[in-house]
């Protein structure tokens, strides 16, 4: 593995390791994404020279903090914390429009199924509770006509704190309040995604997991691991 392929490790001890996963990288091999040639789990295993065990996941287009255990026992202990919602996660995102200074999105979500991967899943399962807190960090109005209605375009940088862990929760919740995340090809808005590609050379989902807090499974110490907001998310606000 060359230096250019090395993953950025933001925390490591003898029990676990936390990386900053790049956008576009799958956590582990998946037959759904047959185009993928690299996977965080295999890359980290090769980088460390030992087996690693994923304890949660990030969507392929989402970047940021991702925790791996270095043994199956530690993975089991961390999985219990995730299942009991003892883990605090923070994300940052760029969204369309000016969001409120702060708010709580309490909107139940029906499970989103992939046609291939979830063909055995129960289609009529009732919606599950889903809660996201958000805070606006910055706003910008750009002198570009992206939509037909307005001569300028407004965007917000938001901090998102999910209280539940539903599939695509943050993307769906921000779309629900009509502030979709830029770069979201499924729940977002094509004109704004295209504008960011052309004007900011941005070819990714502008969503990053920037902090995670959990109890160390061995020492019981409260670990709080934080990374910088990626420059690509801050770029529109420093014109």
Which are the catalytic amino acids? 59
Is 143 within 8 Å of 152 (Cβ atoms)? yes
| DSSP assignment letter at 91 | E
Is 238 within 8 Å of 155 (Cβ atoms)? no
- Indicate the SS3 state at residue 170: helix
What are the two backbone dihedrals, phi and then psi, of residue 232, each rounded to the nearest 5 degrees?
Answer: -60, -30
* Rounded (10°) CA dihedral 89, 92, 93, 94: 160
Composition of the chain by helix, strand, coil, percent to 5: 20, 30, 50
Closest by CA to 140, choosing from 196, 209, 64, 61, is 196
């Amino acid at each position: 593995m060359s230096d250019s392929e090395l993953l950025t490790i933001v925390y490591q001890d003898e029990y676990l390791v936390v990386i900053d996963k790049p956008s576009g990288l799958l956590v582990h091999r998946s037959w759904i994404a047959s185009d993928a040639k690299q996977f965080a789990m295999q890359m980290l295993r090769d980088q460390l020279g030992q087996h690693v065990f994923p304890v949660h996941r990030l969507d392929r287009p989402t970047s940021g903090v991702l925790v791996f255990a270095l043994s199956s026992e530690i993975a089991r202990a961390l999985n219990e914390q995730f299942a009991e919602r003892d883990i605090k996660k923070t994300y940052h995102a760029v969204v369309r429009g000016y969001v409120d200074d702060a708010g709580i999105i309490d909107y139940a979500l029906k499970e989103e199924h992939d046609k291939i991967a979830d063909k055995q899943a129960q289609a009529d399962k009732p919606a599950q509770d889903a809660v996201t807190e958000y805070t606006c960090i910055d706003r910008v109005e750009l002198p570009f006509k992206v939509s037909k209605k307005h001569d300028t375009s407004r965007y917000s940088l938001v901090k998102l704190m999910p209280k539940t862990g539903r599939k695509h929760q943050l993307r769906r919740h921000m779309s629900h309040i009509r502030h979709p995340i830029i770069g979201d090809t499924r729940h977002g808005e094509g004109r704004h995604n295209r504008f960011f590609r052309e004007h900011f050379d941005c070819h990714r989902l502008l969503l990053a997991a920037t902090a995670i807090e959990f109890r160390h499974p061995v020492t019981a110490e409260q670990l709080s691991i934080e990374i910088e907001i990626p420059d690509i998310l801050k770029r529109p606000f420093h014109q």
